[in-house]
Amino acid sequence: MAVTKTTASRKQATLDAETLRAMYRNMLRSRLLDERMWVLNRQGRAPFWISGIGHEAVQVAFAMNLRSGEDWAAPYYRDLALTLVLGMTPKDQLLSVLQRADDPNSGGRQMPAHYGCRRYNIITTGSPVGTQLLHACGIALAARMRGEDTVTFTSIGEGGTSGGDFHEALNFAATHKLAVLFVVENNGFAISVPWEKQMPTRDVADRAKAYGIPGVKVDGGDAIACYKAAREAVERARHGDGPTLIEAKVVRLTSHSSDDDQRRYRTAEVIEAEKAQDGLLRFRAQLEELGVLTAGDADEMRAELLLELDKAQEEAEAAPLPEPESALLHVLAEDLR
Amino acid sequence: MATKTYLEAIRDGIHEEMQRDERVFIMGEDVGAKGGVFGVTDGLQKEFGELRVMDSPLAESCIVGVAIGAAMNGMRPIAEIQFQDFIMPAVDQIVSEAAKIRYRSNNDWSCPMVIRAPFGGGVHGALYHSQSIEAMFCHVPGLRVVVPSTPHDAKGMIVAALRDPDPVLYFEHKRAYRAIKGEVPDGDYTVPLGSAAVVREGDDIAVFSYGMMVHTALEAAEKLAADGFSCEVVDLRSLRPLDREAIVRSASKCGKVLIVQEANLAVSVASEVAAIVAEDCFDSLDAPVMRLGGPEIPAMPYSPPLEHYYLVTPDKVERKLRDLAAY
């Protein structure tokens, strides 16, 4: 039950080149889309964006270890990369940012980054932080009742761990040994409030001890370490050994949202220093060093992804907005009198 | 057909639906070996096992939140809240989540579940075991709120709630559990959610009520009948949505309206019924709409004189009806 620290260097040899390249591609694909969302916001074409830049590695690592469409995800608002690996597309998320009728997350009803798509078992998510952790427990409980071996991913920021649902969910999942992966993407800031003012101890993973489950700390900028941690936790859950609390130490390389300016509460030096911890840059350097990816490969990948993105944006911008009266639909299965 | 208590009728409905539909399970505090603090789930764990009749941790947000997740993954959960008073920690899950799941996902997801909770006072339950806070949930689109008043409806409505594709709050008046008995059909039947029932026909005054207060209103109506005043008593049964047609029909027919509830009146079910009558029956009214409910104090106090002072009794209803009759 001890808190374990996963390091990349010792375990990287067991990941094949194809997996590593796929992982990099998934991270880059999310990053490029995320950056495009900021551009659309700053151009005045999208009123809001809330970013996952800096969080990609751990999301990609978990999503690549899930069976898309069979396993379940109860994500939070920074999990853009997770949704893409599970099967949603850049166009899907652009439709949401541009509030189009065909947005599969919500038909333009919710703010962007409120993910959900039944086709991929990504449950609909709202704005309160923490509620989704209990939904993950219920999903896993239902799977247990039917004797299925599916696992459920759920995630939250470290700020969300201060609320009661975090405890209630860990308590319930651990009591019933449910197949839930609790992933805390700890970027050290809840909007503007630093972790020191959020919690008395630095590591959320330490709290696993109180529930008698493994607590794993992982460097969220170390893609290979994230992949290993994810694979281990998914295997445990799938084999009926219960939940794991995984804490990924990540960096938030943007302001909280497009309506926030982190320069009001963080120094320029700190913001600059965090850029060096960017998991995407570190992973690329690592892959080049390993000889898995050449600079040429990476550039080619980028060009190909940008092409996909441009096409997606074009299609999303051409898609219709919702009809005003459609606001009345889907309150209940049958319309009320 | 057998005579059963309100409590037995609820249990029968749950029991039969659990036999018919293996997706149905129940989760709550003390629902297992103890069979619930009132005995509604008595014997169910023995028959269906610990997974389908699950003793939950003492955490209401957990009970409802887990039920929501299970509902999204194909189950038909019953989340039992031990007393309606303790539903507060689960309000975020009910109002922010369950109520909005279909809407916010543009019909991609749904949340078919039933949240059961006993409410109401007159059982020496004091402030935190007596409240009637159903109106809070009646304000929320995306929820159904129902309150049966008879054993017949209690069974038919719990079965209907379990088959409904959306979240249903099913509130049980705890004083009715053993005090109210009635004929309950054997086997499978449902009472449609969203429909009121005329439980006593009359022409002079329409009385709208729900839960235990329906019986209180019937008692008072009987007294007025002795003096030649005929009251139509309507059991609202569904508080969200209200059966607008039924309300308008009875109010228009009688021309005088009294609404009786145990809850305090401000921004309540009675307020909404009064608004419907004002909007749709103005030309038919022969008197101002009157309402009778609990006082505007935080909750029902413990000591007998204080508790009795809070309660809406047949005497109070009778006095109000006579005021209205004389208008």
**CATH code, domain carrying B246:** 3.40.50.920
Domain-ending residue, one of B184, B210, B237: B184
- Are B31 and B147 found together in one domain? yes
For residue B192, is it within any domain? Answer: no
Query: What's the whole-number mean pLDDT along residues B215-221?
Result: 98
| A124/B59 CB distance under 8 A | no
Nearest CA in chain A to B79: A138
Q: Specify the pLDDT at position A6.
A: 47
Query: Cβ(A239)–Cβ(A73) under 8 Å?
Result: no
Q: Please, which pLDDT band fits residue A335 given cuts at 50, 70 and 90?
A: low
pLDDT(A296) > 90: yes
Domain finish residue from B184, B205, B225: B184
Over residues B102-149, the pLDDT tens digits come to: 999 999 999 999 999 999 999 999 999 999 999 999 999 999 999 999
Question: What rounded mean pLDDT belongs to chain A?
Answer: 95
pLDDT digits (tens, 9 = 90+) for A178-199: 999 999 999 999 999 999 999 9
Largest CA distance in chain B: 59
Report the half-sphere exposure of A129 (CA within 13 A, side-chain side). 15
Task: Judge contact between B137 and B266, C-beta under 8 A.
Answer: no
User: For chain B, what is the domain count?
Assistant: 2
Contacts of B106 in chain A (CB under 8 A): 103, 106-109, 330
Q: Kindly provide the ipTM of the predicted complex, given to two decimals.
A: 0.97
- Residue linked to tokens 């009786």: B260
**A166 near B CB under 8 A:** no
pLDDT digit string (tens) for A232-275?
Answer: 999 999 999 999 999 999 999 999 999 999 999 999 999 999 99
CA distance B82 to chain A (A): 17
Catalytic residue of the set A55, A100, A135, A256 = A256
Are the Cβ atoms of A168 and B62 closer than 8 angstroms? yes
Query: What residues make up the domain containing B316?
Result: 197-326
For chain A, percent of residues with pLDDT exceeding 70: 95
Contacts of B59 in chain A (CB under 8 A): 164, 168, 171-172
Contacts A168 to B, Cβ<8 Å: 57, 59, 61-62, 65
Task: Specify the pLDDT at position B1.
Answer: 87
Tell whether A320 lies on the interface with B, counting CB pairs under 8 A.
no
Q: Which residues of B touch A105 (CB under 8 A)?
A: 105
Which residues on B lie below 8 Å from A114 (Cβ)?
104
The pLDDT tens digits of the residues spanning B291-306 come to 999 999 999 999 999 9
Q: Which two tokens stand for residue A24?
A: 């990099």
For chain B, helix (H) and strand (E) counts, in that order, are 13, 14
Q: Is A256 known to be catalytic?
A: yes
Give the Cα separation of B321 and B327 in Å (integer): 10
Summarize the confidence of residues B213-236 as an average pLDDT: 97
Same domain, B245 and B301: yes
pLDDT beyond 60 at A1: no
Shortest alpha-carbon distance between residue B186 and chain A (Å): 29
Are B256 and B128 part of one and the same domain? no
Tell me which chain A residues have a C-beta less than 8 angstroms from the C-beta of B71: 138
Asked whether residue B45 falls in the same domain as residue B143, the answer is yes
User: In terms of CA atoms, which chain A residue is nearest residue B167?
Assistant: A332
Per annotation, catalytic residue among B129, B152, B173, B215: B129
Domain finish residue from B154, B184, B214:
B184
Distance (Å, rounded) from C-alpha B327 to C-alpha B325? Answer: 6
- pLDDT average, residue stretch B7-35: 98
* Same domain (yes/no): B138, B201: no
Q: What is the pLDDT of residues A100-142, one digit of tens each?
A: 999 999 999 999 999 999 999 999 999 999 999 999 999 999 9
Residue A58 in contact with partner chain B when CB distance is under 8 A: no
Q: Is the pLDDT of residue B100 over 60?
A: yes
Q: Is A307 on the interface with B (CB under 8 A)?
A: no
What average pLDDT does chain B have?
98
CB contact under 8 A, A164 and B57: no
Check whether residue B265 and residue B236 sit in a common domain: yes
B45: domain CATH number is 3.40.50.970
Closest Cα in chain B, distance from residue A234 (Å): 19
3-state helix/strand/coil string of A140-187: HHHHHHCCCCCCEEEEEECHHHHCHHHHHHHHHHHHCCCCEEEEEEEC
Distance CA A231, CA A209 (A): 21
Q: Half-sphere exposure of residue B116, counting CA atoms within 13 Å on the CB side?
A: 31
pLDDT band at A207 (very low <50, low <70, confident <90, very high): very high
Is residue B175 domain-shared with residue B203, that is, in the same domain? no
Percent of chain B with pLDDT over 90: 100
Residue A3 has pLDDT above 60, yes or no: no
| Sequence-ordered strand ranges (E) for chain B | 2-5, 24-28, 53-55, 76-80, 114-119, 144-146, 168-173, 181-184, 197-200, 205-209, 231-235, 238-240, 257-264, 290-294
B52 and B131 co-located in one domain = yes
- Shared-domain flag, residues B212 and B132: no
Do residue B10 and residue B63 come from a single domain? yes
B179 and B212 together in one domain = no
Task: Sort out which chain B residues have CB atoms less than 8 A from A137's CB and list them.
Answer: 62, 65-66, 69
Which residue from B73, B80, B137, B140 is spatially nearest to B114, judged by alpha carbons?
Answer: B80
A114 touches chain B (CB under 8 A): yes
pLDDT at A11: 46
Tell whether A138 lies on the interface with B, counting CB pairs under 8 A. Answer: yes
Shortest Cα–Cα distance, A19 to chain B (Å): 30
Sketch the domain layout of chain A as residue ranges.
Answer: 4-319
> Shortest CB distance from A332 goes to which of B102, B105, B244?
B102
The answer to whether A134 contacts chain B (CB < 8 Å) is yes
- Decide if pLDDT at A10 tops 50: no
Residue A334 is predicted with a pLDDT of 80
Both B245 and B322 in one domain: the answer is yes
Query: The domain A4-319 belongs to what CATH superfamily?
Result: Thiamin diphosphate (ThDP)-binding fold, Pyr/PP domains (3.40.50.970)
Q: Judge whether A184 is closer than 8 Å to chain B, CB to CB.
A: no
Q: Is A118 on the interface with B (CB under 8 A)?
A: yes
